Copies of this chain bind each other. A is one copy, B any other.
Amino acid sequence: MTLDQLHSNLEAFKAKKLELDMSRGKPSEAQLDLSNQLLNTVTAEDYKTNADIDTRNYGGLDGIPEAKELFKHFLEVSSIDEVVVGGNASLTIMHDIISRAITHGVPGSLLPWGKQTVKFLCPSPGYDRHFSICEHFGIEMITVSTNEDGPDMDEIERLVSEDESIKGIWMVPKYNNPTGLSCSDGIVDRLSKMYTAAKDFRIFWDNAYAVHHLSEEHDEVKNILDTCKAEGHENRPFIFGSTSKITFAGAGVAAVGGSVENMDWYRGHLFFSSIGPDKINQVRHTRFFKSIEAVHVHMKKHAELLKPRFEKTLAILDEELGGTGLATWTTPKGGYFISFNVVKGTAKRVVALASEAGVKLTSAGATFPYKKDPNDSNIRLAPSCPTLEEIDMAMHIVCLAVKIAAKEKEQSAIVL
């Protein structure tokens, strides 16, 4: 097809004045409906913990006992002393821990991070909110490339062994945002074992999609805390998780896990800022999920809603772009995203063209530090929220945009 023909096809879509959105990893209404009964688990007559703690009053800085027990399993730590259960967002806990590291340092810090140059390794493409936190605090980000089985460990080992200002790395170990791929055991082993010049190096292990499988075929990721302990680096990982994409995105429960020393440090800091988390919402959750097994059963219902959306997205990519050489994409077994790489130098143009035709995508570049994709190639696709019909339409538009942008680039190269 000529560029004119492609453009005329796009004009036809524009005329429909569509409003489609594949930009955000939001649960759909149908997914949220799966947890509505959670709202009925606590009533005016019945709001106490199993041990009869009155959840309405002050206290319980690190969570109610049964929430700590549930998150012990969820975060795969060994004891409830290795867990702090908080409010409604793991993002808040991540920001909080970095903020406290900036003002006070973490166990092992010789100085607060704010009193020294601090750099973080950012395997990319990655999660824009992680990168935003670093940018906000003036933490210098070093982009590290990502392979099928996780980040480039040769590069990481080289960097952390040489530069003591490298204090951390962001990791989404399972069903990564946006690649949807998971870390191999070898990557976990090397991250746990590697020598770091910084004595207070931390892995920010954002296990946001720990139980978010799309089918019976699960990715498994080796236990990071156990592996770090075995290597004598038990303070290395902070492990994050939440029920945001299990129950309610805005009213779930979030937690952090790690060594007792790390958690005691965090509890010590929380004293200054908290009178305890919302314990009643923790009771709602632990009644709705009496065990981690109940979480797994629940997640199958999410998968039933998500899997067809991923399949539809992938089917259209195959149909429209398979064999064209114009794009590559991942085929995740879980999570919320598909990572989509278009012709170098055209990602921004693709996102703009799609937007003109009424399809909102995540900004090109958002998946890289400082919002700058060096290849201008990566686009994050988020199929969770739109209906199958909307995905069908949106993805045809996206693929058309890819073809237009590629042909534009080709023609401008010829002209030059």
Q: Which residues of A contact B (CB under 8 A)?
A: 24, 26-27, 29, 32, 35-40, 42-45, 47, 54-60, 87-89, 91-92, 95-96, 99-100, 102-103, 114, 129, 132-133, 136-137, 244, 248-251, 271-281
Contact = CB atoms under 8 A, between A and B. Distances in A.
Contacts of A60: 250
A271 to B, nearest CB: 8
Contact of A55 (B56, B136, B251, B278): B251
Nearest to A385: B57
Nearest to A29: B54
Of the candidates A56, A59, A95, the one having the most CB atoms from chain B within 10 angstroms of its own CB is: A56
Nearest to A138: B103
Counted per complex, copies of this chain come to 2
Contact of A251 (B32, B38, B278): B278
A75 to B, nearest CB: 19
B39 A43 contact: yes
Contacts of A278: 87-88, 250-251, 278, 281
A303 B169 CA distance: 53
A91 B100 CA distance: 16
A334 to B, nearest CB: 20
A44 B32 CA distance: 11
Nearest to A35: B56
Contacts of A248: 56-57, 280
A249 B56 contact: yes
Contacts of A44: 36-40
Given A89-B275, A91-B273, A114-B114, 5 more contacts: A26-B57, A58-B250, A91-B274, A133-B272, A248-B280
Contacts of A133: 272-273
A25 to B, nearest CB: 9
Contacts of A91: 273-275
User: Which 3 A-B pairs rank lowest in CB-CB distance, beginning with the nearest?
Assistant: A95-B273, A36-B44, A56-B248
A229 B103 CA distance: 32
Given A26-B57, A89-B274, A43 B40 contact: yes
A277 B248 CA distance: 12
A68 B95 CA distance: 25
B54 A32 contact: yes
Contact of A281 (B59, B114, B251, B271): B251
A256 to B, nearest CB: 14
Contact of A132 (B58, B136, B272): B272
28 contacts: A26-B57, A27-B57, A32-B57, A36-B47, A39-B280, A40-B43, A56-B248, A56-B249, A56-B251, A57-B248, A57-B249, A57-B250, A58-B244, A87-B87, A88-B277, A89-B276, A91-B273, A91-B274, A91-B275, A92-B275, A96-B273, A99-B99, A99-B103, A103-B137, A132-B272, A249-B275, A250-B279, A278-B281
